[in-house]
């Protein structure tokens, strides 16, 4: 299928090498600044809220790894996020495992699920793919109500945070925040690495012209499955961390509306960019935070932003900024 508007990142001709180098420098400067903000933020904003936002930032980036690189729109990513949230929650609460092991288990569960769902859904492309991922996601939602350990609509509540590596008390807000920040940065760097690798370029090639890649001898389904599984795994890491941060894993985590939220985050920030989903996640989370108290209808606002994004703002915020900067 022809993919969603994304700007190819690696097609700069040699003549533009100089401007490319400047743009590279700009990138480094930007990331240095972002890192500073990341470190300083908890001294200005409530760290618990920030930690939760970072989990959704990672979730949005993980989702966008699939859509942005290979152009596959998953409508069921909450399944990976939420499954990992449940598994990690169970490991923390019932088995009393430390966070690092619980997160590992949750992420591994999401990876397994990702391979299984990926195997089934990439059998069809385009719109069928999207519909299948949504249906598969809904199965997980039903399971969350049926399985004995998920506690139906209550979910897993009052999940203990425990100590990181047996040393640092995660109930300390700053420890909690920096743990989430490290998870996020690690995940983001991994996605950055994947996107800029040969593997990432092959994925771009598949997005731009799948028949050509097949005729060049690439087994495109293997690549799609691999990136699907990676995306699911990272979404799982985000979900597992979120359970520890907010001490809750509930059916909301696996509901299609959560899949919808993460799509909006990517779309609002810019699907064709790496950093866009982060911006989108921050905005959507802030919006939900403020609207929750205002009594205004959150869903209506989210729906309206969705429509606006699609009709007038398809490149997203970061995409538009890039366009204005001429990159």
Segment 136 to 155, residues that bind other proteins, using CB under 8 A: 136, 138-139, 142-143, 146
Segment 258 to 277, residues that bind other proteins, using CB under 8 A: 260, 263, 267
Residue 294 in contact with other proteins, rule: CB under 8 A: no
Segment 186 to 215, residues that bind other proteins, using CB under 8 A: none
Residues 62-101, mask of contacts with other proteins (x by CB under 8 A): -----------x----------------------------
Residue number with CB closer to other proteins (6 or 107)? 6
- Report how far residue 322's alpha carbon sits from residue 274's, in angstroms, rounded to the nearest whole number: 12
User: What's the closest the beta carbon of residue 289 comes to other proteins, in angstroms?
Assistant: 17
Residue number with CB closer to other proteins (75 or 91)? 75
Read off the tokens for 143: 């399971």
Residue 299 in contact with other proteins, rule: CB under 8 A: yes
Question: Would you give the distance in Å from CA 4 to the centre of its chain?
Answer: 17
Burial class (CB in 10 A: 0-12, 13-18, 19+), 135: middle
Residue 278 in contact with other proteins, rule: CB under 8 A: no
User: What's the closest the beta carbon of residue 207 comes to other proteins, in angstroms?
Assistant: 11
Q: Where does this chain touch other proteins (CB under 8 A) — which range of 38-46, 131-139, 223-231, 315-323?
A: 131-139
Residue number with CB closer to other proteins (101 or 112)? 112
Residue 31 in contact with other proteins, rule: CB under 8 A: no
Q: Where does this chain touch other proteins (CB under 8 A) — which range of 38-46, 92-100, 130-138, 190-198?
A: 130-138
Residue 301 in contact with other proteins, rule: CB under 8 A: yes
CA dihedral (3, 8, 11, 13) positive or negative: positive
Q: Is 136 left (phi over 0), alpha (psi -120 to 50) or beta?
A: alpha
User: What's the closest the beta carbon of residue 148 comes to other proteins, in angstroms?
Assistant: 11
Residue 283 in contact with other proteins, rule: CB under 8 A: no
Binding site for other proteins (CB under 8 A): 1-5, 73, 120, 123-124, 126-128, 130-132, 134-136, 138-139, 142-143, 146, 256, 260, 263, 267, 297-307, 309-311, 314
């Amino acid at each position: 299928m022809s993919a969603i508007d994304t700007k190819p990142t690696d097609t700069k001709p040699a003549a533009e090498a100089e401007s490319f180098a400047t743009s590279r420098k700009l990138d480094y400067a930007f990331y240095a600044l972002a890192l500073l903000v990341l470190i300083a933020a908890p001294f200005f904003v409530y760290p618990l809220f920030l930690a939760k936002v970072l989990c959704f930032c990672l979730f949005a980036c993980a989702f966008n790894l699939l859509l942005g690189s290979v152009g596959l729109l998953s409508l069921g990513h909450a399944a990976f996020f939420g499954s990992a949230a449940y598994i990690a929650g169970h490991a923390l609460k019932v088995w009393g495992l430390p966070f690092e092991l619980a997160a590992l288990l949750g992420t591994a569960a999401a990876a397994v699920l990702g391979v299984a769902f990926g195997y089934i859904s990439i059998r069809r492309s385009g719109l069928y793919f999207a519909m299948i991922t949504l249906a598969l996601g809904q199965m997980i939602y039903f399971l969350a109500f049926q399985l004995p350990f998920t506690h139906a609509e209550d979910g897993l509540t009052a999940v203990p945070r425990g100590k990181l590596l047996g040393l640092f008390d995660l109930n300390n807000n700053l420890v909690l925040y920096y743990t989430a920040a490290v998870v996020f940065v690690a995940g983001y760097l991994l996605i950055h690495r994947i996107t800029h690798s040969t593997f990432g370029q092959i994925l771009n090639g598949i997005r731009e012209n799948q028949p050509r890649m097949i005729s060049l001898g690439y087994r495109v389904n293997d690549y799609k499955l691999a990136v699907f599984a990676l995306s699911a795994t990272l979404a799982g890491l985000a979900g597992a961390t979120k359970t520890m941060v907010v001490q809750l894993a509930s059916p909301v985590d696996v509901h299609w509306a959560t899949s919808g939220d993460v799509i909006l985050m990517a779309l609002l920030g810019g699907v064709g960019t790496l950093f866009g989903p982060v911006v989108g996640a921050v905005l959507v989370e802030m919006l939900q935070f403020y609207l929750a108290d205002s009594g205004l209808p959150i869903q209506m606002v989210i729906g309206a932003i969705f429509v606006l994004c699609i009709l007038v703002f398809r490149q997203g915020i970061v995409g538009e900024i890039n366009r204005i900067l001429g990159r």
